[in-house]
Amino acid sequence: MALTGFYAGSFDPVTKGHLDIIDRAFTLVDRLVIGVGGHHDKSPLLSADERIALVEKEAGALAQARGRELAVTVFDGLAVDAAREQGAAVLLRGLRNGRDFDYEMQMSGMNSAMAPGLETVFLAASPETGFISSSLIKQIARLGGDISAFVPESVAAAIARSMRR
């Protein structure tokens, strides 16, 4: 039976850290659904449409290289509901540090109480990208810094365009 995984986040912007988790997720699941959420953020750097287009482009290239199926979806409610709607059996999360661990452990407990049988699988961040954070990238970009080491070129270009708006 094909295994579907659901990977949720705001992806504002999608980073090399997210893409590392996504690429490694393709070695575990047959089909990956990426849920782009975060519509409650009052000051997003990129619009939902821009975030989705960038995730589709960058994660799409990884899916193709791995011969795996990818779907990108917007979600507004609970990740567990979106995951179930997509037929996912697994929620994928990345762990960078102890702070992620504490938060993610608590969230996985709440999620498994709400959706028994939906398993959370944690992937340890890779040393090369484990320090990357979307919220710090947002701050650096807004202060005029160079974010090109942390995101793919397409994302850096989209952020540069958003800064000129």
Which residue is catalytic, options 42, 99, 164, 165? 42
Q: Does residue 42 carry a catalytic annotation?
A: yes
Query: Quick one: 1 or 27, whose CB is closer to ligand ADP?
Result: 27
**What CA–CA distance (Å, rounded) separates 67 from 71?**
13
SS3 51: helix
Q: Give the CB-side neighbour count of residue 130, counting CA atoms within 13 A.
A: 14
Single out the segment in contact with ligand ADP by CB under 6 A; choices: 22-30, 110-118, 126-134, 136-144. Answer: 126-134
**Contact pick of 56, 69, 100, 119 for ligand ADP (by CB under 6 A):** 100
Q: State in angstroms the smallest separation of the CB of 108 from ligand ADP.
A: 10
Query: Quick one: 45 or 63, whose CB is closer to ligand ADP?
Result: 45
Q: Give the CB-side neighbour count of residue 122, counting CA atoms within 13 A.
A: 16
Single out the segment in contact with ligand ADP by CB under 6 A; choices: 54-62, 130-138, 139-147, 155-163. Answer: 130-138
Taking a C-beta distance cutoff of 8 angstroms, is the pair 121, 88 a contact? no
Q: State in angstroms the smallest separation of the CB of 111 from ligand ADP.
A: 12
Query: Quick one: 69 or 130, whose CB is closer to ligand ADP?
Result: 130
Q: State in angstroms the smallest separation of the CB of 1 from ligand ADP.
A: 25
Query: Quick one: 67 or 141, whose CB is closer to ligand ADP?
Result: 141
For ligand ADP, the binding residues in 11-40 under the rule CB under 6 A are: 11, 15, 17-18, 21, 38
SS3 161: helix
**Which residues are catalytically annotated?**
18, 42, 96, 134
